[in-house]
Chain A
């Protein structure tokens, strides 16, 4: 296949908007095509396939969202066709809708942001049903008893061996840490209040948990860094906890050419104020810190006005949301491992808090100078559903658009944030970085997010001519073009043409197989045998995700040896 004459942005390879041909053979980008389809991309924008590094798309809490929200299922309905299964839902779409909608937006890879090991079988059952895109899942470790005990005992090698085992047991891709210690405290209805607040019954602090897991992550040389949801997330004044957390790990270095820590959906962790009344943005402080510390990355967690379904392993946060909003509330604690919660809500333009939150996400992306450090997400469906990515792109590219939006918002969005004064407008290379190149680099997916020889043949072609269209002024055109890819090509196969799905291949599932010394693995095994005998409600032999649940694996090797 050859894609001829498009306007190509491939920032990883230094191609910043050149007219050139892209060739794909056997699912990979190659120097020269030997035949096949010729796609005339003249006057169109050609990008690598989109990569979503953080979205809640599969597993128990996503399905809890569906079950408790039939009113959401009744939105976004599309009947089946000869090729497609039916679609339902807006914030919590069914599996098929997820794959189709990602593909229509030009996305070819999406990672589920949080799976407890015990319930990973379920996560993979849903990932298997999401068509087209490649995927993976990040495994939760921040409240696991074995982790807490290794930290308490200061046994870093054993912790690394457990992380390797947990990734294999869950067929997981990376180390996710959510409100470390808080999830365990929630087992008796408590929480931790900061990074030095000890976890009840275990005597370790969130600071220690984060540091140990980061060090274990680097001992194992995992492709992705620790992926952190900070303590105190969602609370006024929490930017101090966020900065304190980052300062606490400045001395740790990455074992690979990537960040040492990814702080996720930063919008929810960049709040000032002593309460909701004096709530304000502290995004400039966070961005300023990032501008001086390039070892850290973040994603936006951009808020989208309208319906959202918040879902997180941060269960005390969800309980707080439910109390505050008098909303439906689901909670799900997972023995020895985690807690979690789901609360539907509506973000309103005229709600002061929501309007300020909206501004914070944009401030973070625009004030952080290096686009490789801030990637685009809505923390789907917490900030809003991923189908709104074209809206976010236009906001990043157009100050005019931002001003139009600000006019429709509560005035505090302008007063309590610096957004009105921000002039920066991203260009297509910046967009290619924050939606493709950077998420792939942050996840450690070397064959994703770029169009160099050897990369996966995942390409998006948008019907927009950067030579004619000024995204700053013509933001409506940009949004329209991004909402319906002219072509999405997945592993060399055209899966979307003119916004319609044309093929439904099964994507691959990434997981990391990390090796550890046998003596350390044996120590972990002995601990686990005891935990299963005394505390788990199932047998150890039935715990690990079986191969039957990952039918198209892409195993990435890592480890100590």
Chain B
């Protein structure tokens, strides 16, 4: 079901029966988030504190149409929100993605919005997380900032 209202448009391509008119702007995209390996992520996976790793993994790829309908400006960022958390990442187009599927490379930015539940098998569900995506002016946190709020006990480890 698509909600097309002028002030706050939510579009859910998986549930929609019709294609979105290209003239409409979408404020909030309901999408399915998947994560996975990429060459850039892999090549820098032993250099995770490097700017290269940041560049390779702190983005969200969207289909061309979803990218356009969200009205993302050049080199713009998106806020990805799931029931487990939210994260700001830069936005990219990927012609290989179908409507309503977004891709974030395996890494700390993707895992900010993945849930801990393992369904009794030990493995969280890293792919197929229901997410909402919107354009944002917020900045992408670097890897240190992402974990800055997790307080260490400090001092003598007991």
Direct A–B contact in complex, judged by CB atoms less than 8 Å apart: no
Interface residues of B (CB under 8 A from A): none
Interface residues of A (CB under 8 A from B): none
